Amino acid sequence: MNTQLRGTSLREDDIRTGKALVTEWHPKIDYQFDAGTAVGQFLDGLKAGKIMGRQCDVCGRIVIPPRMFCEKCFRRNDRWVELKHTGRINTFSVSFVNWDASRRTTPQVPAVIDIDGTNPSMGILHLLGEVGQTLEEVLRRVRIGMAVEAVWKPAEQREGAITDIMYFRPVGG
Protein backbone atom coordinates (compact mmCIF):
# COMPACT_ATOMS: atom_id res chain seq x y z
CA MET A 1 0.00 0.00 0.00
CA ASN A 2 1.28 3.44 -0.95
CA THR A 3 1.98 5.25 2.27
CA GLN A 4 2.23 8.63 0.59
CA LEU A 5 -1.43 9.45 0.11
CA ARG A 6 -2.44 12.55 -1.77
CA GLY A 7 -4.49 15.43 -0.47
CA THR A 8 -3.71 18.96 0.67
CA SER A 9 -5.05 19.87 4.06
CA LEU A 10 -6.31 23.41 4.64
CA ARG A 11 -6.86 25.16 7.93
CA GLU A 12 -9.84 27.35 8.70
CA ASP A 13 -7.48 30.33 8.71
CA ASP A 14 -6.41 29.62 5.13
CA ILE A 15 -9.97 30.22 4.07
CA ARG A 16 -10.69 33.17 6.33
CA THR A 17 -7.56 35.02 5.29
CA GLY A 18 -8.08 34.33 1.58
CA LYS A 19 -5.01 32.17 1.21
CA ALA A 20 -7.22 29.59 -0.50
CA LEU A 21 -9.53 30.79 -3.26
CA VAL A 22 -13.14 30.43 -2.21
CA THR A 23 -16.35 31.02 -4.11
CA GLU A 24 -19.60 31.40 -2.23
CA TRP A 25 -23.11 30.50 -3.24
CA HIS A 26 -26.25 31.34 -1.32
CA PRO A 27 -28.97 29.23 -2.81
CA LYS A 28 -32.66 30.02 -2.65
CA ILE A 29 -33.88 26.54 -2.05
CA ASP A 30 -37.48 26.60 -0.81
CA TYR A 31 -40.17 23.96 -1.03
CA GLN A 32 -43.90 23.89 -0.45
CA PHE A 33 -44.53 20.29 0.42
CA ASP A 34 -47.87 18.64 -0.29
CA ALA A 35 -48.92 17.15 3.04
CA GLY A 36 -51.34 14.86 1.28
CA THR A 37 -54.22 13.09 2.95
CA ALA A 38 -52.70 11.34 5.96
CA VAL A 39 -50.38 14.05 7.20
CA GLY A 40 -52.82 16.78 6.19
CA GLN A 41 -55.53 15.36 8.40
CA PHE A 42 -53.04 14.69 11.18
CA LEU A 43 -52.08 18.36 11.17
CA ASP A 44 -55.75 19.38 11.13
CA GLY A 45 -56.16 17.15 14.17
CA LEU A 46 -53.30 18.90 15.98
CA LYS A 47 -54.90 22.26 15.32
CA ALA A 48 -58.05 20.94 16.96
CA GLY A 49 -56.01 19.72 19.92
CA LYS A 50 -56.14 16.05 18.96
CA ILE A 51 -53.46 13.44 18.34
CA MET A 52 -54.69 11.11 15.61
CA GLY A 53 -53.50 7.68 14.52
CA ARG A 54 -54.58 5.28 11.78
CA GLN A 55 -55.74 1.70 12.19
CA CYS A 56 -55.34 -1.29 9.88
CA ASP A 57 -57.98 -3.99 10.36
CA VAL A 58 -55.83 -6.77 8.95
CA CYS A 59 -52.85 -6.49 11.30
CA GLY A 60 -54.73 -4.47 13.91
CA ARG A 61 -51.95 -1.92 14.30
CA ILE A 62 -52.79 1.64 15.27
CA VAL A 63 -49.94 3.76 13.95
CA ILE A 64 -48.54 7.21 14.41
CA PRO A 65 -47.30 9.21 12.47
CA PRO A 66 -50.36 8.38 10.41
CA ARG A 67 -50.29 7.01 6.87
CA MET A 68 -53.16 6.13 4.58
CA PHE A 69 -51.67 2.72 3.83
CA CYS A 70 -50.40 -0.01 6.10
CA GLU A 71 -46.82 -0.62 4.99
CA LYS A 72 -46.85 -4.12 6.51
CA CYS A 73 -50.07 -5.37 4.90
CA PHE A 74 -49.68 -3.20 1.82
CA ARG A 75 -53.28 -2.10 1.76
CA ARG A 76 -55.21 1.07 2.42
CA ASN A 77 -55.81 1.15 6.17
CA ASP A 78 -59.22 1.63 7.68
CA ARG A 79 -59.93 4.38 10.16
CA TRP A 80 -58.71 7.34 12.16
CA VAL A 81 -58.30 6.72 15.87
CA GLU A 82 -57.99 9.47 18.45
CA LEU A 83 -55.01 8.76 20.68
CA LYS A 84 -54.30 9.92 24.20
CA HIS A 85 -52.24 12.99 25.03
CA THR A 86 -49.96 10.95 27.23
CA GLY A 87 -47.17 8.54 26.52
CA ARG A 88 -43.99 6.96 27.83
CA ILE A 89 -40.41 7.96 27.10
CA ASN A 90 -38.77 5.38 24.84
CA THR A 91 -35.48 7.25 24.80
CA PHE A 92 -34.25 10.81 25.27
CA SER A 93 -31.17 12.95 24.85
CA VAL A 94 -29.83 16.15 26.37
CA SER A 95 -28.47 18.30 23.56
CA PHE A 96 -26.09 21.21 23.97
CA VAL A 97 -25.54 21.65 20.25
CA ASN A 98 -27.65 23.56 17.77
CA TRP A 99 -28.34 22.46 14.20
CA ASP A 100 -25.38 24.48 12.98
CA ALA A 101 -22.99 22.95 15.53
CA SER A 102 -22.97 26.09 17.70
CA ARG A 103 -23.13 25.49 21.46
CA ARG A 104 -26.18 26.02 23.65
CA THR A 105 -26.02 27.11 27.27
CA THR A 106 -29.32 25.46 28.15
CA PRO A 107 -30.17 22.07 26.71
CA GLN A 108 -32.85 20.90 24.35
CA VAL A 109 -34.26 17.55 25.41
CA PRO A 110 -35.47 15.60 22.36
CA ALA A 111 -37.22 12.32 23.00
CA VAL A 112 -39.02 9.47 21.29
CA ILE A 113 -42.36 9.29 23.08
CA ASP A 114 -44.49 6.17 22.73
CA ILE A 115 -48.03 7.52 22.54
CA ASP A 116 -50.73 5.85 24.63
CA GLY A 117 -53.35 4.27 22.39
CA THR A 118 -50.96 3.12 19.65
CA ASN A 119 -50.76 -0.59 19.05
CA PRO A 120 -48.16 -1.93 19.37
CA SER A 121 -46.72 0.90 21.40
CA MET A 122 -44.92 3.24 19.03
CA GLY A 123 -43.52 6.69 19.16
CA ILE A 124 -43.06 10.11 17.68
CA LEU A 125 -40.16 12.53 17.98
CA HIS A 126 -40.77 15.56 20.16
CA LEU A 127 -39.19 17.67 22.87
CA LEU A 128 -39.44 17.39 26.63
CA GLY A 129 -40.02 20.53 28.68
CA GLU A 130 -40.08 21.50 32.35
CA VAL A 131 -37.37 18.92 33.04
CA GLY A 132 -34.41 21.09 34.02
CA GLN A 133 -31.85 23.53 32.73
CA THR A 134 -28.64 21.56 33.22
CA LEU A 135 -27.49 18.07 32.31
CA GLU A 136 -27.56 16.99 35.94
CA GLU A 137 -31.10 18.29 36.52
CA VAL A 138 -32.44 16.57 33.41
CA LEU A 139 -30.76 13.26 34.23
CA ARG A 140 -32.23 13.43 37.73
CA ARG A 141 -35.71 14.24 36.50
CA VAL A 142 -36.12 12.08 33.40
CA ARG A 143 -36.15 8.30 33.05
CA ILE A 144 -36.69 6.03 30.11
CA GLY A 145 -40.15 4.54 30.64
CA MET A 146 -41.44 7.63 32.45
CA ALA A 147 -45.00 8.82 31.81
CA VAL A 148 -45.32 12.20 30.06
CA GLU A 149 -48.17 14.39 28.83
CA ALA A 150 -48.49 16.86 25.96
CA VAL A 151 -48.49 20.56 26.67
CA TRP A 152 -50.37 22.43 23.97
CA LYS A 153 -50.31 25.93 22.62
CA PRO A 154 -53.53 27.79 23.34
CA ALA A 155 -56.13 26.97 20.67
CA GLU A 156 -55.96 30.37 18.98
CA GLN A 157 -52.20 30.01 18.46
CA ARG A 158 -52.29 26.58 16.89
CA GLU A 159 -51.50 26.43 13.16
CA GLY A 160 -51.85 22.79 12.25
CA ALA A 161 -48.22 21.87 12.91
CA ILE A 162 -46.30 19.46 15.12
CA THR A 163 -45.33 22.49 17.18
CA ASP A 164 -48.97 22.96 18.25
CA ILE A 165 -47.74 20.65 20.97
CA MET A 166 -45.06 22.75 22.64
CA TYR A 167 -43.47 19.84 24.45
CA PHE A 168 -44.19 16.85 26.67
CA ARG A 169 -43.69 17.09 30.42
CA PRO A 170 -43.62 14.51 33.20
CA VAL A 171 -47.09 13.51 34.32
CA GLY A 172 -47.80 14.96 37.72
CA GLY A 173 -45.63 17.98 37.03
Partner 1 sequence: MAGKVAIVGAGYTSLRAVSPEASFRELVFEAATRAYQEAGITPADIDSVVALGEDYREGTCICDEYVPDQLGAVQKPVHTVTGDGVQGVGMAWMLLQSGVADIVVLEGHSKASNIRHPAHVEAMALDPTYVRPHGWNPLFVAGLEMRRFLHDSGVTARQAAQVAVKNKRNALANPLAAYPAEVTVEQVLNSQPLAEPLTELAVAPPADGAFVFVLANAAGRKKCRGRPVYVEAVTWISETCNLPTRDWGRAVYTERAAARAYEMAGLKNPAEELDFVEVDDAYTYKELQHLEALGLTARGQSGQMLERGTFDLGGQLPVNPSGGSLGCGHLHDASALRALWEAVCQLRGEAGRRQVPKARRGLVCSWRGVPTATGGVAILSRR
Partner 2 sequence: MRKVAVLGAGLTRFMRRSLETGRELCWEAAAAALQDAGLTLADIDCVVLGTAPDAFDGVHLKGEYLLDGAGGKGKPYVRVYVGGGTGVFMVPAGWWHIASGAFNTCLIVAEEKMSPTQPHPQGAFNAIYDQFTERPLGVNLLWIFSLEMHRYMQTYGIPLETIAKVAVKNKKNAKDHPASQVAGDFTVEQIVNSEVMAYPVMRLMVSPVTDGAAAMVLASEEFAKRKGGKHVWVEGVGWNLDTSYWTNRDLAYPQYVENAARMAYKMARIKDPRKEIHVVEPYDPFAYKELHHLEGLQLADKGQAPRRLEEGFWDRDTTTGIPSSPSGGLLGVGNPIAAAGLMKAIEIYYQLSGKAGARQIRRNAKRGLAQAWGDLMQVGTVMIMGVER
Interface residues with partner 1 (CB under 8 A) are 23, 25, 27-39, 67-69, 71-72, 74
* 41 binds partner 2, rule: CB under 8 A: no
Could you tell which of partner 1, partner 2, none binds residue 34, using a CB distance below 5 to 8 A set by kind? partner 1
In angstroms, what is the minimal distance from the CB of 111 to partner 2?
7
Three-state DSSP class for 43? Answer: helix
Could you tell which of partner 2, partner 1, none binds residue 94, using a CB distance below 5 to 8 A set by kind? partner 2
Omega within 30 of 0 (cis) for the link into 27:
no
Could you tell which of partner 2, partner 1, none binds residue 1, using a CB distance below 5 to 8 A set by kind? partner 2
- Counting every residue, how long is the chain? 173
Rounded CA-CA distance 56/71 in Å is 10
* 58 binds partner 2, rule: CB under 8 A: no
Q: What phi, psi does 119 have (nearest 5°)?
A: -150, 115
**What is the β-pairing status of strands 75-76 and 79-83?**
unpaired
How many other β-carbons are positioned within 10 Å of the β-carbon of residue 123? 18
* 48 binds partner 2, rule: CB under 8 A: no
In angstroms, what is the minimal distance from the CB of 155 to partner 2?
18
